[in-house]
Structure 1
Amino acid sequence: MARTLPQPTTDSIDLSTVLAALADPVRLEIARTLRRQTEPVNCSGVAEASGVEVSAPTISHHWKVLRDSGVTSTEVVGRTRIIQLRTEDLEERFPGLLAAILDAPARP
């Protein structure tokens, strides 16, 4: 049985909170990696695929910030957490924002 972790409703996603969440280089790279996925993925697989090397508690913190800001949603299936970008919700709330941030060239 799956359950979705608490997250803001589409109408309550706040622009400054989204921008603050994506301002962190680790969270930005995680979001970029999620964007390249065609299906929701296991959170540990995304961390590995993004090349981010941080401790388990730190990556958990990043997942929570992304979820609490409305950038991602997390579904718990047993001991697995399935993550996906809330692309449609963010597009509805702030058209073009996610693409502008995630498609921008990485800074050196």
Structure 2
Amino acid sequence: MLILKCPYCGVMADETELHGGGEAHLTRHGPGSSDEDFHDYLFAKENPRGVHFERWRHVQGCGKWFHAARDTATLEVFGTYPAQTTEPPKAIRKAITAKRPGWTWRGFSDPAK
């Protein structure tokens, strides 16, 4: 069973108390964007085997949305953080690179900086 810590209320919640909201850190395009950008936003999602960043809502608790970094193959959780954060915190990126040498955040060469 997947257990995530809500970064707002501090409760360790199992997946029955949460609602998944899909991929985190999507780029949302405005009204003037191209059809291709809008298509990619709606349909082109990452679905990796390994490290993935997801949105979750603590529905049976505080009701707030947050992000979680986890491994989709092993269910290992690297951490959770507020949904308003535009990229994973340095501490979480360092935890991932410590266990997954060579991993990068969206192709940047040094994700922990």
TM-score, reference length from structure 2: 0.29
| Larger RCO of the pair (alpha carbons < 8 Å, separation 6+) | 1
- Structure exhibiting the larger radius of gyration computed from Cα positions: 2
More strand by share: 2
TM-score, reference length from structure 1: 0.30
More helix by share: 1
